[in-house]
């Protein structure tokens, strides 16, 4: 899956000269926590998050009254509090690479570019929706986590046995096992019983870590 299929398209944005008060109001109105900052030529020059807003606000120990605080925030512009430079991805990037960048950099979003043009933004919420789809979380069936020998053809044998038992694979995701000679698989299959699934996996000498029926 590529980023263009997952991202939020046509994200709201602000200009460098937008006041912090207007930024805060736009976030509250649109119920969003990230706003790209585009210059007058529509080039991405920064990004503002709720964390940036919090850091720009006076501390609780300030001696300023609410009117003075409001006046100062009205004068404060987006360009003064935005994060820059901005880490971005191209719309053709794969989702897992975007997720890896966000995890490694400890950031909650990535503006998405087509060339140099902002076309979207991918956030943690977008990745959560992708995660739900990948694991077939909205569908019922037998969900099983197991480890197979890490060698060619093992997964093909499993899918063939499921098909022969009239099962339909809703989702399949693989990952690392503690034993490096094996591969962990998380699978959801409809049209098959738990008992039959256990039988199939025993035939493949698979180690079952968890199995349950999801309604």
- Taking the CA atoms of 201, 206, 208 and 211 in sequence, report the sign of the dihedral they define: negative
Structure tokens at 24: 């805060």
Same domain, 166 and 107: no
Count the neighbouring beta carbons within 10 Å of the beta carbon of residue 87.
Answer: 14
Q: Check whether residue 123 and residue 195 sit in a common domain.
A: no
Residue 104: which CATH number?
A: 3.10.580.10
Instruction: Count up the domains in the chain and report the number.
Output: 2
pLDDT digits (tens, 9 = 90+) for 79-138: 999 999 999 999 999 999 999 999 999 999 999 999 999 999 999 999 999 999 988 999
Express each pLDDT in 148-177 by its tens digit: 999 899 999 999 999 999 999 999 999 998
Domain membership of residue 10 as a residue range: 3-131
Co-location of 186 and 201 in the same domain: yes
Residue that the structure tokens 């509250």 belong to: 28
In angstroms, the CA 81 to CA 71 distance is 16
């Amino acid at each position: 899956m590529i980023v263009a299929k997952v991202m939020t398209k046509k994200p709201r944005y602000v200009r460098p000269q937008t006041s912090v008060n207007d930024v805060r109001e736009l976030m509250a109105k649109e119920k969003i926590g990230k706003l790209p900052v585009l210059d007058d030529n529509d080039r991405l020059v920064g990004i503002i998050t709720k964390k940036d807003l919090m850091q720009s606000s006076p501390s609780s120990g300030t001696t300023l009254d609410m009117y003075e605080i409001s006046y100062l925030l009205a004068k404060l512009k987006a360009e003064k509090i935005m994060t820059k430079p901005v880490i971005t991805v191209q719309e053709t990037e794969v989702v897992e690479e975007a997720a890896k960048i966000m995890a490694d950099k400890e950031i909650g979003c990535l503006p998405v570019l087509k060339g140099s043009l902002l076309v979207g933004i991918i956030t943690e919420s977008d990745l959560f929706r992708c995660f739900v789809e990948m694991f077939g979380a909205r569908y019922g069936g037998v969900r099983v986590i197991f480890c197979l020998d890490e060698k060619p053809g093992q997964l093909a044998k499993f899918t063939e046995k499921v098909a022969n038992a009239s099962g339909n694979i809703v989702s399949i995701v693989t990952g690392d096992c503690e034993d490096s000679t094996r591969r962990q698989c998380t699978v959801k299959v409809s049209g098959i019983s738990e008992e039959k699934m256990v039988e199939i996996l025993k035939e493949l000498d698979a180690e079952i870590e968890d199995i349950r029926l999801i309604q």
